[in-house]
Amino acid sequence: MPSNAAELVRILNLNDDGADRYVGGHPGESLLAKVYGGQLIAQALVAATRTVDPGRPVHSLQTICLDVGRHGEPVQFEVERLRDGRSFSARAVIARQGGRPVLRLLASYQPREQGLSHQIPMPIAPPPGGLPLAHEVMAAFSNLSGNEWRVEWSGLDLRYVSGHLEGRVGRTPAVQQLWVRVKDRLPDDAVLHRHIVAYLSDLTMTSASLLPHGPVFGDLELPRATLNHSVWFHEDARADEWLFVDQRSPWAGGARGLSFATVYSADGRPVASLAQEGLIRPLGRMRRQLGFD
């Protein structure tokens, strides 16, 4: 994870390699060897957006994750201009690292229009002040120290709503709520904030499908990976102000978990809707504890 807002902006500022090709880098340090999926999603979205009329903001994206990205090696993003119609533009992006395809993204863009409108109200939740911090929760459910997780999450302020993390097997619902924001102030650029919402959208989504199965959140013996991920953008919102994320998982099976989420601004406006299928494949001790061996 980036250590501050400036580093986050830097990794989303891709280098132009000519002919709708772009190159992206990584944060200076990371606790994990593999690249955070939200980074690749956001970088691919940045590449697609570079080729679209600025008057058409992105309204949806769908990705399929093809392979693991690794830190220390740049990622190449190649954009295909699928269509520029009267109302919508469509782009496809393939991300490669060392010649390996690691992610495929489809994105759709639309000028702002007036239309029918409704929304589901934001759930009632306690404010972020005083709620458990991400590194505290991670440390409680893994074999890494709180300080290691604190360094990993230092660029974000991520708070968990209490009551969903007890890990009571068969009794804890697959519901997870959190508040998140980038700690430092970001530039006043609505496009950048939408891209950072895409970056944040991959946070803890797969973990929502783990809650009914015991205290496995953050456990390194449960490898997790994003398989496919979708975002629908509804309204602009600042990523350096509090966003409330309401996550829920209706199903898990076959070493996969399915999760959905709605992202709200602090004043209750729906900002985005999310859907994700993730890999949840227990190993070693955890596999035996769960009775798979």
The residues carrying an active-site annotation are 202, 226, 276
Place of tokens 């496919």: 228
Pair of tokens at residue 92: 């496809």
Q: What share of the chain is helix, strand, coil (3-state, %, to 5)?
A: 20, 35, 45
Q: Go through the chain and tell me how many residues it has.
A: 293
DSSP secondary structure string, 107-138? Answer: EEE----------PPPPP---STTSPBHHHHH
If residue 45 lies in a helix (H) or strand (E), which one and from where to where?
Answer: helix 37-49
Q: Coil, helix or strand for 141?
A: coil
Residue 83 CB neighbour total at 10 angstroms: 9
C-alpha dihedral sign at 155, 39, 28, 19 = negative
* E-state strands within 72-223: 75-84, 89-97, 100-109, 156-160, 175-182
Cα(25)–Cα(15) distance, integer angstroms:
9
Query: Is 180:243 a contact under the CB 8 Å cutoff?
Result: yes
Cα(25)–Cα(155) distance, integer angstroms:
17
Residue 15 CB neighbour total at 10 angstroms: 10
Helix and strand numbers, DSSP H then E, in the chain? 6, 12
